[in-house]
Amino acid sequence: MAARPGEFVQPKGQGFSIGKVKDKWDDLDFANYLTYALGEKYFTDLKIDKTFIQHFIYYVFAGGFERKNILKYGFCSDADLMRFQRAVLVRISSYRSPQTQK
């Protein structure tokens, strides 16, 4: 299906991105960064067992913590860390409460 004379043809070359742009980080990378940046002591002070730190971080993520740009660029600013800490304080009480089944 060659272009007819006078039709515009989109050029393709090395300067063009083809396909989906991938994020630099995934949730696991970000969770590991949070554990490193905040320290395990931060979570143990919140009475979260060491073995459940990753689980709790994913629980906070599932609560609607916006992290699209963090994952895209692979960078977490101090403001993002503070935002995560606020989300932790909001979610900690529901994490500790027993879950009822319907």
Global confidence as pTM:
0.73
pLDDT at 102: 53
Structure tokens at 1: 């299906």
Phi, psi of 79 (to 5 degrees): -65, -40
Structure tokens at 56: 């709790």
Q: What is the pLDDT of residues 81-93, one digit of tens each?
A: 999 999 999 998 8
pLDDT at 96: 77
Residue 16 reports pLDDT greater than 60: no
pLDDT at 93: 86
Residue 18 reports pLDDT greater than 70: no
Structure tokens at 51: 């073995």
Calculate mean pLDDT across residues 70-77: 92
Task: Please answer whether residues 87 and 63 qualify as being in contact, where contact means their C-beta atoms are separated by less than 8 angstroms.
Answer: yes
Task: Please answer whether residues 59 and 91 qualify as being in contact, where contact means their C-beta atoms are separated by less than 8 angstroms.
Answer: yes
SS3 95: helix
Structure tokens at 55: 């689980």
Cα separation, 30 vs 69, whole angstroms: 11
CA nearest neighbour of 58 among 98, 97, 30: 30
Mean pLDDT of the chain: 85
